[in-house]
Amino acid sequence: MPDSLFLDQIEEKFQPEDADLLRRAYAHCVKKTGRCEPDGFPAARLLLHQNADAVTVAAALLAPLLWGGLVTSVQLREEFGPDVADVLQDLKSPSLLRLETPQYRREDIHTFLAAMGGSPRKALLLIAFRLLALEGALDSPEQQPRGMARETVDFYVPIANRLGLGDLRRRLEDSSFRILDPEGYEDLRKKVAPIQAEDDKCLQILLEGVRRLLRKNHIQGRVQGRTKSLHAIRRKMLRTGRTLEQIMDRIGLRVIVASVPECYTVLGLLHTHFKPIPGTFDDYIGLPKDNGYQSLHTCVYPVREISAKPIEFQVRTELMHMEAEYGTAAHWRYKSGLASDAQDRYRSQWIQGLVRQHEKADSAGEFIDLLNRQVFRDHLVVFGSGGRIVRLSDSATVQDFLNTTNTQVPVAGAVRVNGKPVSLDHRLRDGDSVEIAGGEGSVPSHEPTSAKHVCTSEV
C-alpha cells in the first residue's frame, strides 16, 4: 500500500515529533478526502525525496484541502500549529494563476510573488506543484500546455535556480523543453545517444581511477558520475555557439568528502594526476554563488588512452552536496546556526525584492527579462553586509545592488563603495565592497581580496 510506504519513510527520515506531525497531517487528508492518496500526496512524496523538512511536507499534504475549501486557515492553525499555518497563509492554488494569459499576466505575477510573502518554503511548494503538473502533462500528449511550459522557463526555473533547487530545476527545464520543442528535444536526444554511450564508458573508467586515487591517499569520500541534461546542453550550445562535441562539461564527476580542507587536497591530487585546462577553475567554496551553491570546479584532460574529451570535476562536502541538489528543500533539516539564518534571510530578501522590482517594471515582459538576467547572467562579484557575496551583471550599478539585495538606503544615509561615497548610478566593478552608511542598518566596510579569478562555469 502506498500509504504504508510513505509512513515508513517518514519514520525513517524524521525525529519522533516531526514524524508525528506528518502522520497527523496524512491521516487528516485521508479523513477529509476518503482516499489513501489525497491530492497533496504526490507533492508531499516529491518533497520527501527532496529531503524537505516536516513543516514543508505537511504543508504540501494540506494545501489542496485549503484550496478546495475542506479546511480553513484557522482550523489548520489549531490542528497543526503556527509553522504549517504560516506557510499556507495566503498561498494561492497554482491552478488559479493565469500567468500565460496576457490580459492577467502582470496582475497574477504580482499575486504569485506576494503569495510567497518572502518565504522560500512557499516558493518551494508552488514549484513542486508546478513540476507535477508539467510531468503529468507529458503523459497526456494530446493535452500538453505550451503556455504553462513557457511560463515555467521564464518564471519558475530562475526562481528554482536562485533557491538552489538543482534537481527540481533540471526536471522543470527538461519537461518544458519536451513540451515546447518536441522535435528539437528528440533530435538532440538522438544526437547525444551515440556520444553518451562513449561518455558512459569513459565515466566508468574514471570513476574507478579516482576512487583508487582517494584510497591511495587515505581520503574517505565517494565519487559520482553525472551527465548534463538535454536542456542544459542545448542552452549552452545556444549561448556559446559551440557544437555538441565542443561542450566541455557534458560529462563530469563529483567527489564528495567530509571536510573543506579535504576538498582542496582532492583538487591538488586531480591537478597532479590529470592535466588541468587553463581558465576553467572556479572556487565556489571561497566565493559561494548567491543561491548558496558551494563547490570547487575544474576541467581536466584525462589520460589520452581513456578519452580525448575534457572532463569537469566538482569537489564538495556532503553538506554542500545536499545544498546543491536540494537547496531550500533541505535547508531547514541540514543547516543550523548563524550560517543557516543568514542564508534564509538572503533568500527571503531576494523574494521580497522581486515584488518591488515587479512593481517598478513597465510590463510583465520587462520583469521576466530582468529576472532571467539577474539569475542566469550574473558575472560581477560584489561584497555587501557581513561579507555577503552578491553576483550582478557586468554593467550593474549601486541601484542594481540595492534592488537585488532588497536593501533601502536610510533617509540620512549614504552608499559607499570601497569606503568612498557614490551615487546610485555608480557602476560597480568586480571585487567592490558596498556599505550603507548612516542611519539604522549600517554595515562595516570590507576589504576583500580580489575576485578577478572568479569564473562563470555552469552548475
Q: 2-180, superfamily in CATH?
A: Hypothetical protein af1432 (1.10.3210.10)
> pLDDT value at position 347?
65
First vs last C-alpha separation in the chain: 38
- What is the pTM (predicted TM-score) of this model? 0.66
Mean pLDDT along residues 32-48: 89
Determine the residue type at 321.
H
Determine the residue type at 368.
I
Select the more confidently predicted residue: 225 or 11.
11
Q: How far apart are CA 445 and CA 454, in angstroms?
A: 21
In the chain, what percentage of residues exceed pLDDT 90? Answer: 24
Q: How far apart are CA 169 and CA 159, in angstroms?
A: 9
Of 278, 169, 147, the residue nearest 232 (C-alpha): 169
Determine the residue type at 298.
T
> pLDDT value at position 432?
82
Q: Is the pLDDT of residue 26 over 70?
A: yes
- Residues facing 345 on adjacent strands: none
Do 412 and 361 form a contact (C-beta atoms < 8 A)? no
Phi-psi region of 283 (alpha: psi -120 to 50; beta: other; left: phi over 0): beta
Q: How far apart are CA 396 and CA 398, in angstroms?
A: 7
> pLDDT value at position 449?
32
Of 398, 311, 406, the residue nearest 352 (C-alpha): 406
Mean pLDDT along residues 37-61: 90
Give ∠ CA 48-50-54 in degrees, rounded to 5: 40
Among 144-158, 171-185, 187-201, 271-285, the range with the most confident prediction by mean pLDDT is 171-185
Q: Cell digits for 113?
A: 510573488
Mean pLDDT along residues 82-101: 75
Domain 335-437 CATH (choose: 3.10.20.30, 3.90.1150.10, 3.40.50.300, 2.60.40.10): 3.10.20.30
Q: Is the pLDDT of residue 267 over 90?
A: yes
Q: How far apart are CA 328 and CA 120, in angstroms?
A: 7
Do 22 and 14 form a contact (C-beta atoms < 8 A)? yes
Determine the residue type at 425.
D
Parse the chain into domains and list their residue ranges: 2-180, 183-326, 335-437
> pLDDT value at position 45?
92
Q: Cell digits for 157?
A: 526555473
Select the more confidently predicted residue: 383 or 421.
421
What residues contact residue 372 under an 8 Å CB cut-off, 6+ apart? 154, 158
Q: Is the pLDDT of residue 44 over 70?
A: yes
Positive or negative, the Cα torsion across 224, 229, 233, 238?
A: negative
Q: Cell digits for 82?
A: 503556527
Q: Is the pLDDT of residue 182 over 60?
A: yes
Q: Which architecture characterizes domain 183-326 according to CATH?
A: 2-Layer Sandwich (3.30)
Q: What is the dihedral of CA 175, 179, 184, 190, to 10 degrees?
A: 50
